[in-house]
Amino acid sequence: MNSPLRVGIAGLGTVGVSLVQVLDRNRNLLKDRCGREIVVTAVNARDQSKDRGIDLGNFIWFDDAVELATSDDIDVFVELIGGEEGAALDASRAALKSGKHLVTANKAMLAKHGVELACAAEAKGLLLNFEAAVAGGIPIIKTIREALTANSIGRIYGILNGTCNYILTRMEREGISFEDCLADAQRLGYAEADPTFDVEGFDTAHKLAILASLCFGTEIAADEIYVEGISSITTADIEAAAELGYRIKLLGVAQRTESGIEQRVHPTMVPVDSTIAQISGVTNAVAIDADIVGQLVMSGPGAGGDATASAVAGDIADIAKCVPGEQKVPALGKLAKDLAPYKKARMRSHEGGYFIRLTVHDHVGVFAAIAGAMSKHEISLESIVQHRADQKEEDGLQTIILITHETTESAVRAALEAIGKESALAGTPQMIRIEK
């Protein structure tokens, strides 16, 4: 009989507590499937006296995460502390250095230090598993890293942040403002007290950077992503999208081009009858375009204690199944030392065009100024619609909605700057990409 796999867990928040419960509740199932028992032997958290609804009496308690990571009482270190630096990173480095397998749900740490940690794991013949770091309970990491090994992936995109999807879903269904939706999301626990990381797109960007590395065999490049959040989206944008047959989603998109890798996070109009448009609430979805399998779409819970704990438990189970001495699956799909340097793609035309909403002063020559600026920057318009501005706004304002054909973002921004110089604009223009 194989000896038990001893697990140490750092971080006993929602996910950590769920993980302890899952490993205990399904211990016999895991033993049957892994060929050995999985046992939590030690834990670490900030406050030992806090009531977490679980019995900690059978675990060795560590006040210091690094001491837990290097303890002889564990074989696997599970990092659920969070944050790209500090205790999470120090303990993760220490675990690998001391010969412990590492499991983490920390996308921020991986986006910044993932290649370093992968190198450290490979040098010691250890596993670095991080399924829970991207898309919660959706097994997207394992799918890319193992199941799609024979496929060349051209593009990966998806809804990677449940908070943003929840807000956009409610804005559309109930016609309420971004601010009101965000307040409800915070009250329900879907959004943090400081929601910037989620609603401004940075959480999605970290996850996208990890996926791009796995898909394209390049170093992780979280700092090379164009990032735009959803805080500027209004009910007027939601309504206009619906009238045009679209739904607004915050997407992370990474694709291979002739000039390099393109990564972007931004609100996007997607056809209302598309699969990605049907993903509502806090659910996540990831779509992969590959040469052999074609398009693969996976959806499921992107966050939450049980969903994330399921992914972490799966990572631990993979370690339990490993035969000592056998070659490990590289953390990033290929050996970290063989990852290609990241090459950012040059600006190119956006295939779906752009939605542009302008609030302008209603006077003679406005349309001519707009049309002239678009023509000067070689932007072809598919349609132009004029609306009287909302009655709550000042008199003498018009709302103009433009739909462009394929063009570059730089051209659109230059045209909007030129229109602004003509004193035609009243307020900040809204620009949203349209994905076919």
* Active-site annotation, residues: 207
> How many CB atoms are closer than 10 A to CB 234?
14
Contact status, residue 213 vs residue 219, Cβ threshold 8 Å: yes
Distance CA 65, CA 387 (A): 59
Token pair recorded at residue 32? 């049957």
Instruction: Tell me the residue type at 256.
Output: R
> Would you give the end-to-end CA distance of the chain in angstroms?
55
**Residue 208 host element (H or E):** helix 202-216
Closest C-alpha among 87, 145, 138, 143 to residue 118: 145
Distance CA 430, CA 424 (A): 15
CA atoms within 13 Å, Cβ hemisphere of 275 = 12
CA atoms within 13 Å, Cβ hemisphere of 162 = 24
Q: Point out which residues pair with 398 in neighbouring strands.
A: 360, 388
Closest C-alpha among 280, 252, 279, 281 to residue 266: 252
Give how far Cα 90 sits from Cα of 10, 100, 113, Å.
12, 14, 11
Contact status, residue 9 vs residue 39, Cβ threshold 8 Å: no
Distance CA 311, CA 298 (A): 15
In three state form, how does the secondary structure of 357-374 look?
EEEEECCCCHHHHHHHHH
Phi-psi region of 129 (alpha: psi -120 to 50; beta: other; left: phi over 0): beta
Distance CA 125, CA 239 (A): 54
